[in-house]
Amino acid sequence: MKLDHITLREIRMPLVTPFETSFGATDERRILLVEVTGEGATGWGEVTAGEKPFYNEESTDIAWYILKHFAIPKALESPLASASEAAGRWSNIRGHQMSTGGLEAALWDWEAKLQGRPLHALLGGVHREIPCGVSIGIKPSIKQLLETIQQEVAAGYQRIKIKIKPGWDIEVLDKVRERFPRLKLMADANSAYTLADKAHLKVLDRFYLMMLEQPLAHDDIIDHAKLQQYIETPVCLDESIRTPRHAEQAIEMGACRIVNIKLGRVGGFLRAKQIHDCCQAAGIPVWCGGMLESGIGRAANIALSTLPNFVLPGDVSASKRYWSQDVIQPEVEVSSRGAIAISDSPGIGYAVQRARIEHLAVRKETFP
Catalytic residues: 163, 262
Q: Return the one option of ligand OSB, Mg ion, none that residue 55 interacts with (CB less than 5 to 8 A, by type).
A: ligand OSB
Least Å distance, CB 73 to Mg ion, is 32
Using CB under 5 A, which of the segments 179-187, 233-241, 318-326, 346-354 binds Mg ion? 233-241
Q: Percentages helix, strand, coil for the chain, rounded to the nearest 5?
A: 35, 25, 40
- What span, in angstroms and rounded, lies between the C-alpha atoms of 301 and 112? 15
The helix (run of H) or strand (run of E) holding residue 100 is helix 97-114
Beta-strand pair 24-38/41-47 = antiparallel
For ligand OSB, which is the closer residue by CB, 17 or 366?
17
Binding mask 193-232 for Mg ion (x = CB under 5 A): --------------------x-------------------
Q: What are phi and psi of 82, to 5 degrees?
A: -165, 165
**Alpha carbon distance 145, 253 (integer Å):** 35
Query: Whole-number minimum distance, CB 231 to ligand OSB, in Å?
Result: 19
Binding-site member from 10, 46, 238, 326 for Mg ion (CB under 5 A)? 238
Rounded to whole angstroms, what are the CA distances from 203 to 121, 198, 235, 294? Answer: 44, 9, 14, 37
Which string of DSSP letters, residue by residue, matches 53-77? TTSSS--HHHHHHHIIIIIHHHHHS
326 C-beta neighbours (distance < 10 Å), count:
23
Cβ–Cβ < 8 Å for 130, 342: yes
How far apart are CB 81 and Mg ion at their closest, in Å? 35
Using the contact rule CB under 5 A, the part of the chain among 7-15, 34-42, 171-179, 237-245 near Mg ion is: 237-245
The interface partner of residue 103, options being Mg ion, ligand OSB, none and the CB cut-off 5 to 8 Å by kind, is none
29, HSE (Cβ side, Cα atoms, 13 Å)? 24
Nearer to ligand OSB, 207 or 287 (CB): 287
Amino acid of residue 105: A
Residue placing its CB nearer to Mg ion in the complex, 213 or 293: 213
Backbone angles phi, psi at 319, to 5 degrees: -50, -40
Binding status of residue 293 toward Mg ion by CB under 5 A: no
Report, in Å, the least distance between residue 213 CB and ligand OSB: 7
Dmax over CA atoms of the chain, in Å, equals: 60
> Residue 58: which of ligand OSB, Mg ion, none does it interact with, CB under 5 to 8 A by kind?
none
Least Cβ distance, residue 294 to Mg ion (angstroms): 19
* Residue whose Cβ sits closest to ligand OSB: 290
- Residues binding ligand OSB (CB under 6 A): 21, 55, 135, 188, 190, 238, 289-292, 315
Question: Interface residues with Mg ion (CB under 5 A)?
Answer: 188, 213, 238
